[in-house]
Structure 1
Amino acid sequence: MTVAFDRQFFFDTVQLSLFKGSLSPGQVEGMNAIIDYWDANLATADRRWLAYILATAFHETAYTMQPVRETLATSDSRAVEILETAFATGRLSWVKSPYWRADEDGKCWLGRGLVQLTHRRNYEAMSEITGIDLVAQPERAMEMAPAVTILIEGMLRGSFTSHRLCDHLNDEKEDWVNARRIVNGTDRAEKLAEYGRTFLAAIRPRA
């Protein structure tokens, strides 16, 4: 099914349903970047996938639709400080090894992008997909173009958890809740499902 759709209707709809009646230039830029990649590479794919990709970016970026660092800090050093404090006070009980601490090369593998890319192994995997050496320059995951590629291709290929979009949204089933497993277990799964359905309602074919 085609996902070449009416962008004006899309933006008018999500502005009211998800963005409290107002869209910033950054939010528009981010969504256009995702949609542009989709139209250029996946225009005939399942539009539910695009809706859930947008929902994931919406959640992971705290609604900004711009690449962000984990904790929304404006620098790596500040993000590490926030994470260390949270870890020390027991607010990150699921973390066994603090992945944000600088390695022997001084690199930090904290979350970055439109979907929070963490751990060196994931930066290595996404280097192959983006064609950018993210191990040498992990901060480039904060650039829009590679961030969009990481988000979309990672969710399509199952790069993050082995779960793929096609595992949960296909001809046989429409499991918006368990689609969260593509990125982060079941964390906020119901909320992400709601976002996904809302984005889907805004996607309609161009006249």
Structure 2
Amino acid sequence: MNRKKFFSLYKDLLDKDKTLTQKEVDALDLFLEMYERNKDYFTIPQWAYVFATVFHETAFTFEPVREAFHLSESWRERNLRYYPYYGRGYVQLTWDYNYEKFSKLMKIDIFNKPGLAMQPEIAFMILIYGIKHGEYTGRSISRYVNEDKKDYKRARYVINGTDKRDIIAAYAVTFESILKQTV
């Protein structure tokens, strides 16, 4: 992958202020490293949708996020009925049964240590496995993005119904262009 070109295109096409802080570069660089190690897991259009989803779900940071990140842990404990299994990761893994399921699938005990879902490597594996195998909603990415079609709008069903699907679909088109120019 031509990282220099990737960052240039990303900055020009997706970064609102057209500048990247070192923190943004580091987070995206780590995500790109994990992508490169796993690039055969998906097609480029499928990866474009993964990138678009993470871009949106992390508020453009490419860092794992925790639900209600601006509030304290004590607030989450008092107010989230599914505490301590609140949303964490590149996409919001939530509820005890999902933590238990991914603990078994990943062979990492995020059920007893839910904070592990914030570690980038673990969050990344949860992300791509869940998208490929339909572990979030029962729908996998190949149902919407495959050799015959690229339905980035409906691909939102893989993660979260129709919430923000038009915006994320537009991001996916842009990421597809960037990836095709840089891999």
TM-score (norm 2): 0.89
The answer to whether structure 1 residue 32 and structure 2 residue 12 are counterparts is no
Larger radius of gyration: 1
The answer to whether structure 1 residue 8 and structure 2 residue 4 are counterparts is yes
C-alpha deviation, 1:49, in angstroms? 1.2
The answer to whether structure 1 residue 172 and structure 2 residue 148 are counterparts is yes
The answer to whether structure 1 residue 64 and structure 2 residue 61 are counterparts is yes
Sequence identity, in percent? 34
Alignment CA distance shift 1:75-1:146 (3 Å): farther
C-alpha deviation, 1:144, in angstroms? 1.0
Can you list the C-alpha shifts for 1:47-93, whole angstroms capped at 9, x where unaligned?
A: 11111111111111111111111122364323456xx4xxxxxxxxx
Question: CA–CA distance in 1 between the matches of 2:168 and 2:133?
Answer: 19
C-alpha deviation, 1:45, in angstroms? 3.5
Can you list the C-alpha shifts for 1:138-193, whole angstroms capped at 9, x where unaligned?
A: 01111111011111111111110011111111111110000111100010000110
The answer to whether structure 1 residue 121 and structure 2 residue 97 are counterparts is yes
Equivalent residue in structure 2 for 1:43, among 32, 40, 45: 40
Question: CA–CA distance in 1 between the matches of 2:133 and 2:175?
Answer: 21
Question: Residue 146 of structure 1 corresponds to which residue in structure 2?
Answer: 122
* Greater share of residues in helix: 2
Any gaps of 5 or more consecutive residues in structure 2?
none
TM-score (norm 1): 0.80
Any gaps of 5 or more consecutive residues in structure 1?
85-99
| Equivalences, count | 182
Question: CA–CA distance in 2 between the matches of 1:32 and 1:128?
Answer: 29
Alignment CA distance shift 1:33-1:162 (3 Å): farther
Question: Residue 181 of structure 1 corresponds to which residue in structure 2?
Answer: 157
Question: CA–CA distance in 2 between the matches of 1:7 and 1:80?
Answer: 41
Question: Residue 199 of structure 1 corresponds to which residue in structure 2?
Answer: 175
Aligned 8 A contact 1:73 1:79 in 2: no
Question: CA–CA distance in 2 between the matches of 1:133 and 1:149?
Answer: 14
Alignment CA distance shift 1:173-1:206 (3 Å): closer
